[in-house]
Amino acid sequence: MEFIYKLKNIFFDILFPSICLNCKINLTIDEKNKKVCEKCIDSIIIYSSFFCPKCKNRVPTQEKTCHKEIKFLLAPVTDYQNPVIKNIIRFFKYKKWKSLMVIITPLINNYLDNLSQDLKSFIIIPIPLHKDRFKERGFNQSEYIAKVISEKTKAEINTGNLKRIKATKTQADSKNLEERVKNIKNCFALENPEEIKNKNILLVDDVFTSGSTMTEAVKILKQSGAKKIIAFVLAKA
Ligand SMILES: [Zn+2]
Ligand SMILES: [Zn+2]
């Protein structure tokens, strides 16, 4: 039996040689589990502040955004321009390589350390997928990110309250900003709005691009009396 297992492993290594998913160089034994080489991981720059969701400028304190009409702060771990994080998110989300959380977890924790903000009073809400999309993908990537934040900050996760009631196209399928906004409009609903009243909310998603998804979620949370809202994402475009 053991021989067959060994043979299986050798066969696997030939079929799927351990190369970095970004730069394709051969991985060392230590790097093998991570699926990304050390050099690529090191190229990911972790932010240390909040950002304005509109102009994407840094926001020095938790209290103020430069664009007053925007009702939330953006908290991105890193920049989506970096191809390494782009590839990690792509493989995680679409190829379902959940083991990539080994890399993603320390990135999130480093950012939270850099922020040095007490987020314990926040309720963490992962942006939900529509039930059809969830069925198709089998998991919600935002919930994985939320779990890491919750473990680090001790803030509680609330799933099931915010619901996606409209099946929307993926961001990549919608051609322009106008279409994205239209596409996403009124796609969320709250099961129990009372739970949100006067609470600080940490919304969680993987990527912040046009911001149309977050803006739509913020809208319904604000309508239900949410206090402070922070949009936490792995990467901002
Ligand atoms: Zn690499
Ligand atoms: Zn601004």
Token pair 């906004």 in the structure block, residue: 181
pTM over 0.85: yes
* Closest-approaching ligand to the CA atom of 58: 2
Q: How far apart are CA 73 and CA 54, in angstroms?
A: 10
Å from CA of 228 to ligand 1 middle: 38
pLDDT digits (tens, 9 = 90+) for 119-136: 999 999 999 999 998 999
Å from CA of 43 to ligand 1 middle: 9
Å from CA of 16 to ligand 1 middle: 16
pLDDT at 23 over 70: yes
* Closest-approaching ligand to the CA atom of 22: 1
Write down the mean pLDDT value for the chain.
90
Cα distances (angstroms) measured from residue 194 to each of 25, 187, 198, 222 = 52, 19, 9, 12
User: What mean pLDDT do residues 196-223 have?
Assistant: 96
Å from CA of 193 to ligand 1 middle: 45
Q: How far apart are CA 83 and CA 22, in angstroms?
A: 7
**Confidence at residue 30, expressed as pLDDT on a 0 to 100 scale:** 83
Cα distances (angstroms) measured from residue 79 to each of 75, 84, 103, 198, 206 = 11, 10, 15, 31, 12
pLDDT digits (tens, 9 = 90+) for 75-105: 999 999 999 999 999 999 998 899 999 999 9
**pLDDT tier at 114, thresholds 50, 70, 90:** very high
**pLDDT tier at 184, thresholds 50, 70, 90:** confident
Å from CA of 103 to ligand 1 middle: 13
Å from CA of 77 to ligand 2 middle: 18
Give all domains of the chain, ordered by start, each with its CATH number: 1-43 (no CATH), 47-236 (3.40.50.2020)
